[in-house]
Amino acid sequence: MINTQDLHIEDEIRPLFDFTYNDFSGKEVKDILAQPLGSKEAILMRQQLLQGFAANHQILKDYSYYRFNLAEVYEFLETIFVGSVSTKKLRWRFMFSEKEKQQKKGKLILLVRLFYAINTEYISKIDTSLFPPAYAAELEEIKNFFASFNLERYETAFNKNKFKISHMVELMMIITTKTTNGEAAAFWKRWFLFEAYLSISTGIATHGFTFPTFDDAHFSLEGFYHPVLKNPVKNNLTARHNVILLTGPNMSGKSTLLKALSLCVYLGHTGLAVPASKATMPFFATISVAINLTDSIVSGYSHFMSEIITLKNVLKEAEGDTKCFAVYDELFRGTNIEDALEISTATLKGLTHFPNSLFFISTHLHQLKEMDEVKSNKIYTCYIDCKLTDNIPAFAYTLKEGWSDLKLGRILFEKEGLNKMLER
């Protein structure tokens, strides 16, 4: 089960990795980010694949072309007539139709020059030995596709102004054959995926992200942060128990911190690097992040019922010894404080019975500090630091071990003069 819409992957995170030159490659980036991988082995394979792109950085760092040229070539190959055709028919068509000859000539020159430049400057120079064998084979298929066109022959003809009808016929027959037998479609799929991986690798290098290590017995993040923030405060966290309770006053940054650590888990499980200087985590089969739960008019669920259903779905997974990662921001804030305290206490106690899973919960319920599990450190507690100077809060956004009893609600209420305004 994956419940991560609150991380806003498409709107906020995808732009960090999308440096593609066309919508097709951009869609591949989107698809890679849309779904965590199903096993630790698949994750490590993608990590190695992306590391292969990083190892070829000097070759690929200037990779580029005109978007318009690619669009023209793609449309040409996708709309080319694939029927009964012969060299004789093609030759006659080009000889007796100057319009068709010039149209096809322009498209063929564009195709050859685009493919020749991409292959000569980048693809042919890639060291495929730096990639996992399965993907190295895919790169060899791309190389073979380019090589089968004998591109240098036609490039030379262009440069010497000797590109003739015979050349056009040869190229058209090659293209028709590749379109008919499915080679062209397979090539586009490989090429767009290649560009997606290259784009993601560029994003990882640009932002200085780190590939996580997977260890079923440990969860720790060093220097983690939310990558959308301009000047983020970096924090460290080691999960000493399977239930972590986060406290801190309003506006201290609890929700942002929960999103940041959730992003590390999510991106790590897609095989990508994460916004942290170092990361170690188990493989989680279930990832559930509940930070911005709202009432749903369509489904008929209230905010509180949404919380209940989200928690229930995770517990169903955890009951079968599935490793679950779950985050709840101010759990049960959708009900009255008496109910919230009672069921939060029951929930926190109960979650300790699922040692294979990891639960992060933020709360404003200061009474939870009196729980035996909190006092005995069976539930690990941490807080986001904030200092008051002359009743003015100074937010440090740093994570510390322990509990925060600081309450800012009334202070901010009075600071804004609302108490005096309401006396009228």
Query: 184 falls in which pLDDT band (50, 70, 90)?
Result: very high
Q: How far apart are CA 204 and CA 211, in angstroms?
A: 9
pLDDT at 43 over 80: yes
pLDDT at 134: 96
Amino acid making up residue 254? K
pLDDT at 298 over 50: no
Q: How far apart are CA 43 and CA 219, in angstroms?
A: 17
> At a CB cut-off of 8 Å and minimum separation 6, what does 154 contact?
108, 112, 116, 163, 167, 171
Q: How far apart are CA 362 and CA 215, in angstroms?
A: 25
The mean pLDDT value for 149-177 works out to 90
Strand order in the sheet with 380-389: 2-3, 286-290, 324-328, 358-362, 243-247, 380-389, 392-401
Amino acid making up residue 165? I
Nearest-10 Cα torsion for 285, 259, 359, 3: -40
Q: How far apart are CA 113 and CA 58, in angstroms?
A: 22
pLDDT at 1: 77
Query: 301 falls in which pLDDT band (50, 70, 90)?
Result: low
The CATH H-level superfamily of 213-423 is: P-loop containing nucleotide triphosphate hydrolases (3.40.50.300)
Q: Give me the DSSP letters along 252-292.
A: SSHHHHHHHHHHHHHHHHTT--BSSSEEEEPPPSEEEEESS
| pLDDT tens, residue by residue, 151-163 | 999 999 988 888 8
Q: Are 25 and 64 in contact (CB under 8 A)?
A: no
pLDDT at 77: 87
Q: Are strands 392-401 and 380-389 parallel, antiparallel or unpaired?
A: antiparallel
| pLDDT tens, residue by residue, 332-388 | 887 888 999 999 999 999 999 999 999 999 998 999 999 999 999 999 999 999 887
> At a CB cut-off of 8 Å and minimum separation 6, what does 252 contact?
384, 385, 386, 395, 397, 404
pLDDT over 70 percentage in the chain:
96
State the helix-helix crossing angle for 183-207 and 133-147, rounded to 10 degrees: 120
Q: Are strands 324-328 and 358-362 parallel, antiparallel or unpaired?
A: parallel
Question: Between 205 and 413, whose confidence is greater?
Answer: 205
pTM of this structure: 0.92
Query: 292 falls in which pLDDT band (50, 70, 90)?
Result: confident
Report domain extents, the chain.
17-207, 213-423
Cα distances (Å, whole numbers) of residue 248 to 210, 237, 323, 381: 28, 16, 28, 11
Handedness of CA 150, 152, 157, 161 (dihedral sign): positive
- What rounded mean pLDDT belongs to the chain? 91
pLDDT at 297: 46
Q: Are 176 and 104 in contact (CB under 8 A)?
A: no
pLDDT over 90 percentage in the chain:
68
Q: How far apart are CA 7 and CA 227, in angstroms?
A: 12
pLDDT at 277: 98
Q: How far apart are CA 223 and CA 209, in angstroms?
A: 11
pLDDT at 111: 94
Q: How far apart are CA 108 and CA 240, in angstroms?
A: 63
Lowest mean pLDDT among 141-145, 187-191, 304-308, 407-411: 407-411
Tokens 């399965």 belong to which residue?
134
pLDDT at 101: 86
pLDDT at 390: 74
pLDDT at 94: 80
Best CA proximity match to 397, nearest among 209, 219, 259, 244? 259
Q: How far apart are CA 290 and CA 6, in angstroms?
A: 7
Burial of 158 (0-12, 13-18, 19+ CB in 10 A): middle
State the helix-helix crossing angle for 98-121 and 165-180, rounded to 10 degrees: 70
